[in-house]
């Protein structure tokens, strides 16, 4: 009694497990060997432990990075916060129909100026046609016929004392240039 030997064969390659590494497909045997005869292949167990460790590390890193991204998204709410526009009056000389020069004035409304009244004042002061028009960005602007760039800054600061010269800009070649 006691000499009953349990003969075990690999379920994958059907060799005795100690021969698996010489068998046709040791790689495929590995999981079965680890499951059933781990003592026979201690290096496999070690290998798997290392792989698991790496796997854990990788998934940890993944977890961490996605977490960080989420936090970042929360911290920066997608740039949806509207940047508060600093009030500014932008004056631009526009030449239309080749010779006809128009001076556009944008932003007076940001200083509480009623554009209708402003356009009347401008028309009177410069003895020219002035009108409130919808600008390209759907914002209203005042168009004054003629080139009034030289006098406009003084006129604005004299007429509307709450508009400082530093808040008035000229549009030159697509760039905002301080009039002050
Ligand atoms: Zn095998």
Domain assignment present for residue 71? The answer is yes
Tens of pLDDT along 105-117? 999 999 999 999 9
**CA 132 to each of CA 84, 93, 114: distance values in angstroms, whole numbers, following the listed order:** 24, 16, 10
pLDDT at 120 over 80: yes
Structural domain harbouring 162: 89-178
Tell me what the mean pLDDT of segment 3-20 comes to. Answer: 85
**Which of 51, 75, 99 is the last residue before a domain boundary?**
75
Q: How far, in Å, from the CA of 51 to the mean position of ligand 1?
A: 21
Ligand 1 centre to CA of 3 (Å) is 25
Ligand 1 centre to CA of 28 (Å) is 7
Domain C-terminal end among 75, 97, 112: 75
Q: What percent of the chain lies above the pLDDT cut of 70?
A: 80
Could you tell me the distance, in angstroms and rounded to a whole number, from the CA of residue 25 to the centre of ligand 1?
A: 7
Same domain, 166 and 98: yes
Q: What is the 3-state secondary structure (H, E, C) of 92-140?
A: EEEEECCCEEEEEEECHHHHCCCHHHHHHHHHHHCCCCEEEEECCCCCE
**Does 107 share its domain with 173?**
yes
| 66 and 97 part of one domain | no
Supply angle C-alpha 134, 137, 140, rounded to 5. Answer: 30
Shared domain for 93 and 70, answered yes or no, is no
Interval between CA 17 and ligand 1 midpoint (Å): 6
> Do 70 and 93 lie in a common domain?
no
Which residues are bridge partners to 91 per DSSP?
A: 105, 170
Number of domains forming the structure of the chain: 2
Question: What does 18-82 look like in DSSP terms, one character per residue?
Answer: GGGGGSTTHHHHHHHHHHH-GGG-HHHHHHHHHHHHHHHHHHHHHHHHHHHHHHHHHHS-TT-SP
Calculate how far, in angstroms, residue 44's C-alpha sits from the geometric centre of ligand 1: 13
CA of 46 to the centre of ligand 1 (A): 18
Q: Is residue 81 part of a domain?
A: no
pLDDT of res. 171: 93
- The enclosing domain of 133 has a CATH number of 3.30.780.10
CA of 6 from ligand 1 middle (Å) equals 17
Rounded to the nearest angstrom, the distance between the alpha carbon of 56 and the centre of ligand 1 is 28
Statement to judge: residues 159 and 123 lie in one domain: yes
Kindly give the distance from the C-alpha atom of residue 1 to the centroid of ligand 1, in angstroms, as a whole number.
30
Per-residue pLDDT at 70:
45
């Amino acid at each position: 009694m006691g000499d009953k030997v349990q003969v075990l064969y690999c379920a994958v390659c059907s060799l005795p497990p100690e021969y698996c590494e010489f068998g046709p497909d040791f790689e495929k045997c590995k999981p079965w060997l680890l499951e059933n005869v781990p003592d026979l292949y201690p290096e496999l167990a070690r290998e798997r432990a290392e792989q698991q460790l790496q796997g854990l590390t990788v998934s940890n890193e993944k977890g961490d990075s996605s977490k960080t991204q989420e936090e970042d998204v929360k911290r920066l709410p997608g740039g949806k916060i509207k940047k508060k526009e600093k009030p500014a009056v932008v004056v631009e000389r526009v030449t239309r129909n080749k010779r006809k020069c128009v001076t556009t004035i944008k932003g007076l409304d940001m200083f509480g100026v009623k554009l209708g009244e402003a356009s009347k004042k401008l028309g009177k002061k410069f003895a020219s046609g002035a009108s409130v028009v919808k600008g390209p960005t759907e914002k209203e602007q005042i168009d004054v016929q003629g080139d009034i760039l030289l006098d406009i800054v003084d006129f604005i600061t004299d007429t509307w004392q709450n508009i400082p010269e530093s808040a008035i800009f000229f549009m030159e070649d697509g760039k905002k240039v301080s009039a002050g």
